Amino acid sequence: MKFLTKACFGMLLAASAMSRPAFAQEEASGPVSLSGGVSVVSDYRFRGISLSNEKVALQSTLTASHESGFYAGVWGSTLPDSPLYGKYELNLYGGFATEVAPGTSVDIGAIYYVYPGNQSFAGPSDYIEVVGKLSHDLGPVSATGSVYYAPDQNSLGSNDNIYLNLGLGYGIADTPVTLNAALGYTDGSLGALAPGGNYLDWMLGASFAAGPATFTVQYVDTDIKKSGVKAIDTLFDPTVVFTLGISF
């Protein structure tokens, strides 16, 4: 999801809510707690676009959090093999999160997207984003507004990018079901598939928790117009994504 090359992932193979599923439970150990999980997704969608070429992907995460609010972790996903991105995406992230008022919290951090198997003549595909989030509980509804900013980098075609997202979650009382929805807006180098370099993506879904396991179903779509090239258009066709995750 960077520049034209990232957005056209599927064609280059034959191609980004926080929008990534996370399944984790914390294990307290003094001032530091660890959380992690593994999941299987039917299609790795990032900001509405398929990065797994509409194929199943295996994903995992591990986070260390300090009682002060600082945290650091790693997230990874399998990818279809390609010279541009290799077979794996690795995200290294860190930041600071704290509650600023009852029911209101902020989270400021950064994500470094790494592609260990990259062998592209175009150079490294790695890039970095800074992230800011504001969350607030409105009764049974939890709302989170997020801003992701990727500054001018070679891997983004010497251009910057901004991504805005508003997410809502509603846990149904006395049930293990949570309903969720999100609306995102991309503007810049990561929106190269869309006219003007910007587009909307949205998601409607529900999750069901049972012990350490969580099953999620999401409808994902964008307003990117068809190009007439099937290998590209299938990357952002509306789809239903299924996820099964286990926390540890």
- Which two structure tokens, joined as six digits, stand for 44? 């790795």
Mean pLDDT of the 31-57 span = 96
Query: What confidence score (pLDDT) does residue 4 get?
Result: 37
Question: pLDDT band at 190, cuts 50/70/90?
Answer: confident
Q: How confident is the model over 38-51, as a mean pLDDT?
A: 96
**Coil, helix or strand at residue 155:** helix
Fill in the amino acid letter for 234: T
Q: Is the pLDDT of residue 187 over 70?
A: yes
In this predicted structure, the answer to whether residue 37 has a pLDDT above a threshold of 90 is yes
Token reading at 127: 């890039």
**What integer pLDDT is reported at residue 139 of this predicted model?**
87
C-alpha span between 225 and 16 (Å, rounded): 18
Contact between 149 and 127 (Cβ < 8 Å): no
What is the pLDDT averaged over residues 118-135? 83
The H or E element containing residue 4 is helix 3-7
- Tell me the C-alpha to C-alpha distance, in Å, between residue 107 and each of 5, 37, 71, 222: 30, 21, 10, 26
- Residue 13 pLDDT grade (very low, low, confident, very high; cuts 50, 70, 90): very low
Higher-scoring residue by pLDDT: 20, 175: 175
Residues with Cβ within 8 Å of residue 133, at least 6 apart in sequence: 18, 106, 107, 108, 144, 145, 146, 147
Fold type of domain 3-247 = Porin (2.40.160)
Does the structure show a pLDDT above 70 at 17? no
Q: How far apart are CA 165 and CA 84, in angstroms?
A: 27
Is residue 205 within 8 Å of residue 180, measured between CB atoms? yes
Q: Is the pLDDT of residue 18 over 80?
A: no
